[in-house]
Structure 1
Amino acid sequence: MIKEFKAFISRGSVVDLAVGVIIGSAFTSIVKSLVSYMINPLIGLFVGGINFSDWVFKINDATFKVGSFINAVINFIIIAFVIFLMVKLINKFRKTETKEPTNTEKYLKDIRDMMKKNDEY
């Protein structure tokens, strides 16, 4: 059983997943800071510092914090948009790999070209 666990944990996909989760949590804190300390105050300048968190309604003893939910939805949209922009920027600078065609692909291309040549006559 220990050998199986060692084989499982040594797989590249498990290690990649662990690294992805760790980097993802670090990236989350960066994005939250960006949104909380830079973007939200900027938006507050344009909307007059509206704070929805005080919006509540009550039915008997139940309190529904609608404003907090609205704030969470707005923050989610802002965070999602910031992540979209960051990924787009990263992809812009990432080198695109040009893959060398395999022998099979070269052979099939030659066959295609020969068939096109035969169709012309």
Structure 2
Amino acid sequence: MLNEFKKFALKGNVLDLAVGVIIGAAFGKIVSSLVEDIIMPLVGLLVGGVDLTKQLVITVGTAEVKIGAFAQTILDFVIIAFSIYIFVKIINKRFKKQEEPQRAAAEVDKKEVLLTEIRDLLKEK
């Protein structure tokens, strides 16, 4: 059982997943800081210093319904999702440029193989 666990834990996919989770958590902190410390203060200046979390609270009996906090969380999510989208788009664009020469070489190889097959068929006739 210990050997099976070693094989499972040391597979490339498991290690890649672990690295992805760790990097994702670190990236999440960076993006959260970007939203909380840079973007939201600027948005606050644009809307006249209104803080949604404190402004939109409805009291029903003894309960407080924090609509502003919910709206703030949705706004944070949209900003974070957009930031991740831009980041992934930039990374994909960079890797796509690196893969294009390899694809071109593969396509040439396919064409050469096809031409070789045609040539061989013509020789047979």
TM bracket (short chain):
0.7 to 0.9
Map 1:16-55 onto structure 2 (within 5 A).
Answer: 16-54=16-54, 55=56
Unaligned runs of 5+ in 1: 115-121
Deviations 1:70-114 (A, max 9, x none): 100011111111111222222333333123439xx7279627x95
Q: TM-score, normalised by structure 2?
A: 0.75
Deviations 1:7-52 (A, max 9, x none): 1001111000000000011111111111111111222221112111
As a proportion of its length, which structure holds more helix?
Answer: 2
Q: CA RMSD for the aligned pairs?
A: 2.5
Unaligned runs of 5+ in 2: 119-125
- Rounded to whole Å, the distance in 1 between the matches of 2:87 and 2:111 is 41
Distance 1:108 1:70, change over 3 A: same
Give the length in aligned residue pairs.
Answer: 111
Q: Percent identity?
A: 45
Structure 1 runs (4+) deviating above 6 angstroms are: none
> Is the aligned partner of 1:72 residue 2:73?
yes
Q: TM-score, normalised by structure 1?
A: 0.77
Distance 1:86 1:51, change over 3 A: same
